[in-house]
Structure 1
């Protein structure tokens, strides 16, 4: 049954069900694009352009800087940057040097940062001057030996570069960086280094290119080991599905964060693989996105539903022409039907839903772009990706139409979790990755996700693990018990709601709880709603029943909606 792969019969004729993957390091994409399109724009950033030739040279320079400072093959290099040219240069430079990249979310608090740097063993980090203070504060608790500091102004056009410090001052951002032998300006390190090519021998199938941290049911972030071959496969699968894309002729709106594996694959690696112009946007602000679309006319816009929702509901929409956008793949959260319809009307392009997870580099499924896409479905498996639906209790394969856990297998599936053999064994069985998501397949090979086995919350495209938020709430002196669930949110997809039981005679306001969480959690993880209770529903063993809280919350919401409409 699993061998039948009914989806292949529904592939467009232009998409081969199986591809030929070159045995090369991921950096080869950049080398090839710079050879074929040296003068094409690789990056557009706030008015500044960097050609493919320049991007390759800058990456070689940074690789030489790392090697000179003792970075060896297999060493971990952390990159804690928003979408800027430096993020791309650091990424490819570290890979040229044979290092393993550790993408670090710039929103991380000190606690989250310490865990990631300690767990990965990263001794080098590239960060922004605005984030330097946070990095400096955790340094003594981590293996960090060297810090490269860069500024948004480093790669701005001359006039903007000159004005940038004044703008920072006006916004009250005057970052203090104490430079020393092991805290260096990124730009100086790059400029002083040789431009000679650096090629450290790489075994694409065994050598890790990336440690991408993801949470888990335990709430502790784990490093997903993605090899050069994994990342190459996913970029090439993406190309096979988006078969109309022209090499050297596309412009990708890069607003998805590159520190998130979805943005890294669909914007950066994919973009460089086809020699596209990558329009880097450090922060999602609707006005800025409209300006960018007007000015640069992007042809591709990978995003999350929250982004499309913000654009189509903005009052300024009528003053902008989005018709340059030919294709968008939406990921990281379910795509509402009305959003798809409205966005396609506005752009004349296609917006389809896809699916993936960090452990699969990340994409495994999407709807066909130019053929029949099925609303509510995550689409069909990508080339060379096999899928099964398994009984959540027995692990047996289920017949078509029955609901169970989705398992995937393919060249994009991770090696495992960094230094966590038991957790790896729990999700990887004979090459099959257990996704923890529950769904089914229809007779045409289209897949549907109906629920999550895990209790993960996805708000605005960010993964939030309830237990992590609960643990921070538990640290508050007035709280006896806390349980966190995701509740529907028209804008973010889901938002965080906390149920709180106070200790006898103790209280705390929502404002106090928010201030407490803000110290320990990135902004997107902080509960937006609270409900105070005298007790929480539990199992016989005393485990809080999150599912029951969700059902009660949903029933109450439906009752309120009914009162409103009656």
Structure 2
């Protein structure tokens, strides 16, 4: 834990005051007023000229912040400078809000110098790391230097990392000691030399980030004021279909969503005061929009505390719930299932929990009821919906729990359910594609204007690829148009796995589908036309083990077939494949 000297603190406060827009002070007052949790809606909001069958938020539109992502967090952090911002749930290593600002601006100075080199062309930095308490320092500091930050899953193989580095054209890399060799292998594959910084002791002589952050001789950088339309982060998602694509999220998309999603009509954190501070567990991957935005940025925006865990392990997860008296539990269906079913999780372990916020994939009503029965106190169960491309857009209101529905629109957000053939907006309880329009939508897919145009229509609605129904302003996801496979909340692209499989010399053709799995929700299964009988299941599994992450492995099995069923235009009929058991 590092202490910021008084003179340094004054310097940071002075720097931040110089970059705070004139409107920020009045808006901060408005935000604090919202945080009292006394807001109520006697009548639902309806715009003056509503469009037919378009669903609006029950709240009127909010005036949105005009600060960029790092400066809005920095300016609010000054109110809570002595409170802990993030702590490792394993080692106890932690940083206060004052430390976050101090060390982020110190890191910004390093990033600025690296990106000023002639070899730097895109001003992009890539984080390849597990969840750690240094994450918000590195994220915010990189943004303060004017960089665009991209993230890579720590589960990726060198091949997968290489593909992403080719796409995002990064100029600087940050990693952990345990992942350093994978990153070096990836750079070897693409024949590139890119500056690497390691959060810890490097086995290859790369600079140690923790030493840099501790070095008080390193000067603070002055945080840049980024245009709201400029890209803050590039997060990878398979979108509504296809291979992983870089989702460009602007500073304005992030800061608008921070303000919209945290309205107390919807969001469950209690206000941060001198006497009270909310703590939440950060086990959701920080490279993912849930971990980066919902768990990290929103929590920091509200002055709460993140307990970071590098991975989900049952004992550590439950211990941190108990030790930190977690009141609001961020979770996904697979973790919720564990809490309900494991005999090692007792009612006493859940004594502090009052709110469960579940997202990433649909959860069964039976699971929510089982958790409510196991918890010793009344539980508000909130479901939410959002994509990397939309940021969180729907959430259950605080006073209107409906199990099986993923909530209502947050302020400044509109949705419609459209007919899959005509595109016409549908009335209540009719199935169609969920479309979302809000200030928090992505700018587009990196280097992919065609996919962007296919996803965001001319009216500004983003087509999610999810089949949904609506009633009374609530939305329920009932199916998926897209072929993505959701493995414990992770998105797995069938076409990506198919491309990898076809690199195997014994594979002539193949198709991958998702099949139901009690533990993971879904798992990938491959149907393969092989060259001859010498190609075995074991050989294919071994081939894939070195090519893709663990959660992308073909745990649904491998089925060798003579032909793949196709439509008249040659499209593989994957629904027919699912009927063929392994």
Q: Sort the TM-score into its range (normalised by shorter chain).
A: 0.7 to 0.9
Residue of structure 1 in register with 2:303 after alignment? 275
Q: 1:144 to 1:101 in 2, by over 3 A?
A: farther
1:201 positional shift:
2.1
Residue of structure 1 in register with 2:288 after alignment? 260
Write the deviation string for residues 494-545 of structure 1: whole angstroms up to 9, x where unpaired.
Answer: 1112222322343303x32221111111110011122333332221233221
Q: Does 1:88 align with 2:136?
A: yes
Which residue of the other structure, out of 389, 404, 407, is the alignment partner of 2:435?
407
Write the deviation string for residues 67-106 of structure 1: whole angstroms up to 9, x where unpaired.
Answer: 1223589611101111102222110110110110101111
Residue of structure 2 in register with 1:223 after alignment? 246
1:142 positional shift:
6.0
Residues 100-115 of structure 1 mapped to structure 2, 5 A cutoff: 100-115=148-163
Contact 1:7 1:446 (8 Å CA) reproduced? no
Q: 1:412 to 1:468 in 2, by over 3 A?
A: same
Which residue of the other structure, out of 70, 81, 85, is the alignment partner of 1:42?
85
Residues 92-491 of structure 1 mapped to structure 2, 5 A cutoff: 92-140=140-188, 141=190, 144-151=193-200, 177-179=203-205, 183-192=206-215, 194-204=218-228, 206-216=229-239, 219-240=242-263, 241-242=266-267, 245-248=270-273, 249-318=277-346, 320-347=348-375, 348=377, 349-360=379-390, 362-368=391-397, 370-429=398-457, 430-442=459-471, 444-491=472-519
Residue of structure 1 in register with 2:32 after alignment? none
Q: 1:199 to 1:73 in 2, by over 3 A?
A: farther
1:275 and 1:32 map into 2 onto residues whose CA distance is 11
1:22 and 1:207 map into 2 onto residues whose CA distance is 15
Residue of structure 1 in register with 2:577 after alignment? 549
How many residues are matched? 517
1:224 positional shift:
0.8
1:195 positional shift:
4.7
Contact 1:125 1:144 (8 Å CA) reproduced? no
Residue of structure 2 in register with 1:163 after alignment? none
1:292 and 1:90 map into 2 onto residues whose CA distance is 24
1:418 positional shift:
1.4
Contact 2:131 2:283 (8 Å CA) reproduced? yes
Q: 1:420 to 1:143 in 2, by over 3 A?
A: farther
Q: 1:483 to 1:4 in 2, by over 3 A?
A: closer
Write the deviation string for residues 236-293 of structure 1: whole angstroms up to 9, x where unpaired.
Answer: 2221121552135211111111100011111100010001111001100111111111
1:36 and 1:103 map into 2 onto residues whose CA distance is 29
Residue of structure 2 in register with 1:159 after alignment? none
1:218 positional shift:
5.8
Provide structure 2 residue ranges, at least 5 long, that are not aligned to the other structure. Answer: 1-49
Q: 1:17 to 1:514 in 2, by over 3 A?
A: farther
Q: 1:150 to 1:6 in 2, by over 3 A?
A: closer
1:526 and 1:178 map into 2 onto residues whose CA distance is 30
Q: 1:218 to 1:374 in 2, by over 3 A?
A: closer
Contact 1:73 1:99 (8 Å CA) reproduced? no
Residue of structure 2 in register with 1:158 after alignment? none
Contact 1:123 1:143 (8 Å CA) reproduced? no
1:218 and 1:6 map into 2 onto residues whose CA distance is 25
Write the deviation string for residues 159-204 of structure 1: whole angstroms up to 9, x where unpaired.
Answer: xxxxxxxxxxxxxxxxx7221xxx3221233334635352212112
2:152 and 2:168 map into 1 onto residues whose CA distance is 11
1:298 positional shift:
1.8
Q: 1:504 to 1:325 in 2, by over 3 A?
A: same
Secondary structure at 2:86 match in 1: strand
Q: 1:217 to 1:415 in 2, by over 3 A?
A: closer
2:191 and 2:371 map into 1 onto residues whose CA distance is 45
Secondary structure at 1:315 match in 2: coil
Q: 1:233 to 1:250 in 2, by over 3 A?
A: same
Q: 1:380 to 1:310 in 2, by over 3 A?
A: same
Contact 2:55 2:416 (8 Å CA) reproduced? no
Secondary structure at 2:207 match in 1: strand
Residue of structure 2 in register with 1:67 after alignment? 112
2:192 and 2:259 map into 1 onto residues whose CA distance is 35
1:377 positional shift:
1.8
Greater helix percent: which structure? 1
Residue of structure 1 in register with 2:19 after alignment? none
1:417 and 1:499 map into 2 onto residues whose CA distance is 30
1:233 positional shift:
1.9
Residue of structure 1 in register with 2:103 after alignment? 58
Provide structure 1 residue ranges, at least 5 long, that are not aligned to the other structure. Answer: 155-175, 558-566
Q: 1:356 to 1:144 in 2, by over 3 A?
A: farther
Q: Which moved more, 1:217-226 or 1:511-520?
A: 217-226
Secondary structure at 1:95 match in 2: helix
Contact 1:5 1:445 (8 Å CA) reproduced? no
Q: TM-score, normalised by structure 1?
A: 0.86
Secondary structure at 1:317 match in 2: coil
Q: Does 1:514 align with 2:541?
A: yes
Write the deviation string for residues 35-57 of structure 1: whole angstroms up to 9, x where unpaired.
Answer: 11111010111322211101111
1:209 and 1:365 map into 2 onto residues whose CA distance is 23
